[in-house]
Amino acid sequence: MTPHEPENRQEETSDFGFRRVATAAKPKLVNDVFARVATRYDLMNDLMSAGVHRLWKRALIDHLDPRPGMRLLDVAGGTGDIALRFLARADKVARARPGKAPAQAIVCDRNADMLRVGRGRAVDRGRLQNIAWTEAEAEALPIAPASMDAYTISFGLRNVTGIDGALREAARVLKPGGHFLCLEFSHVVLPALAELYEAYSFRVIPLLGQWVAKDREAYRYLVESIRRFPAQEALGERIHAAGLERVRVRNLSGGIAAIHSAWRL
Ligand code: SAM
């Protein structure tokens, strides 16, 4: 080994779907995927999951329990789906308890195209206040320590190059008592469902991607990245190792997706 050769070559490469790529190259590859599909992203979510992603997101919001005055950081927030749902639910609670400060959300994403689509959606819904849009990396958040009541990351962690660094950032920005929630594709726990889901993912989703988003490769990456993502228990251990406590996991649709919940103590 030469003096400049890395001791562990594994650290120099990362998964990009089923391919191993240079770690330094992965952020751009992921960014290109989302830049290409941004305008079709929300429609594709509905088509691919037959609308079920809405139920999963509703389950996430139920866990989050939005209240007036709460400050949410939604990382890898893309087109703002979680933040907009959070604010809508918090507003509903506020109407029943007038006089409280409004809830606030910051959507943080590294992709300018996804954020642009998100801002447009917010404007279409008349949501101009109490929401901010920040272009930044999950691994280096421009957010003060211990400043957030809640941190969410929905279908984002799988795309992040430095998962452990992103989890440490989540622990850093949460206040003591702050809630961490991760909604992500996971590993199917029902054997009867596994085969069907495998066939659907590898045969149907890339085809839908080709027809609707005109991008088969982007949706092949999606399916492959799901297979490479850590299973429920392994992810739970990494969340705990990052400094978050009371880690719980709830499987959704037989483990097709899962919500990991944890707290900053
Ligand atoms: N959270 C949204 C939702 O649930 O619909 C969007 C999820 S989308 C599948 C994944 C998002 O993660 C993309 O918008 C992408 O730009 C973002 N992303 C990927 N890597 C990131 C990183 N390192 N830091 C911040 N955002 C990232």
Contacts 24+ apart (CB under 8 A), 195-202: 197/256, 201/226
Interval 193-210: pLDDT, tens: 999 999 999 999 999 999
- Note whether 150 and 177 are within 8 A (CB): no
Contacts of 159 (CB under 8 A, 6+ apart): 30, 34, 76, 225
Decide whether any atom of ligand 1 lies within 6 Å of the 258 Cβ. Answer: no
Q: Mean pLDDT in each 10-residue stretch from start to end of the chain (265 residues)?
A: 42 91 95 94 92 97 97 98 98 89 97 97 96 98 98 97 97 98 96 93 93 92 94 98 98 97 98
Question: 201-239 in b/e burial notation, b at 16+ Cβ within 10 A?
Answer: beeebbeebeebbebeebbbbbbbbbeebbebeebbebb
Contacts of 83 (CB under 8 A, 6+ apart): 72, 74, 77, 105, 106, 107, 131
Distance 76 CA to ligand 1 centre (A): 3
- Reading the block at residue 90, the tokens are 């918090």
Count of Cβ atoms closer than 10 Å to residue 52 Cβ: 15
3-state DSSP assignment of residue 136: coil
User: What pLDDT does residue 7 have?
Assistant: 42
3-state DSSP assignment of residue 77: coil
Cα separation, 12 vs 118, whole angstroms: 33
The pick from 28, 111, 113 for probing ligand 1's pocket by mutation, whose C-beta has the most ligand atoms within 8 angstroms, reads: 111
User: What pLDDT does residue 6 have?
Assistant: 42
Decide whether any atom of ligand 1 lies within 6 Å of the 30 Cβ. Answer: yes
Interval 118-159: pLDDT, tens: 999 999 999 999 999 999 999 999 999 999 999 999 999 999
Domain boundaries, the chain: 30-264
What backbone torsions phi and psi does residue 108 show, to the nearest 5 degrees? Answer: -120, 130
Strand partners, 185: 257
Cα separation, 126 vs 120, whole angstroms: 10
Angle in degrees, CA 248, 249, 250, rounded to 5: 130
Decide whether any atom of ligand 1 lies within 6 Å of the 114 Cβ. Answer: yes
User: What pLDDT does residue 11 have?
Assistant: 63
> Which residues in 76-229 belong to E strands, given as ranges?
104-109, 131-135, 148-154, 174-185
Distance 216 CA to ligand 1 centre (A): 19
Distance 108 CA to ligand 1 centre (A): 9
User: What pLDDT does residue 1 have?
Assistant: 35
Residue by residue, DSSP assigns 198-259 as: HHIIIIIHHHHHHHHSS-HHHHHHHHHHHHHSPPHHHHHHHHHHTT-EEEEEEEEGGGTEEE
User: What pLDDT does residue 98 have?
Assistant: 84
Decide whether any atom of ligand 1 lies within 6 Å of the 60 Cβ. Answer: no
Domain 30-264: give its CATH architecture. Answer: 3-Layer(aba) Sandwich (3.40)
Query: Which contiguous run of DSSP H or E holds residue 75?
Result: strand 71-75
Decide whether any atom of ligand 1 lies within 6 Å of the 81 Cβ. Answer: yes
Strand partners, 184: 258
Decide whether any atom of ligand 1 lies within 6 Å of the 229 Cβ. Answer: no
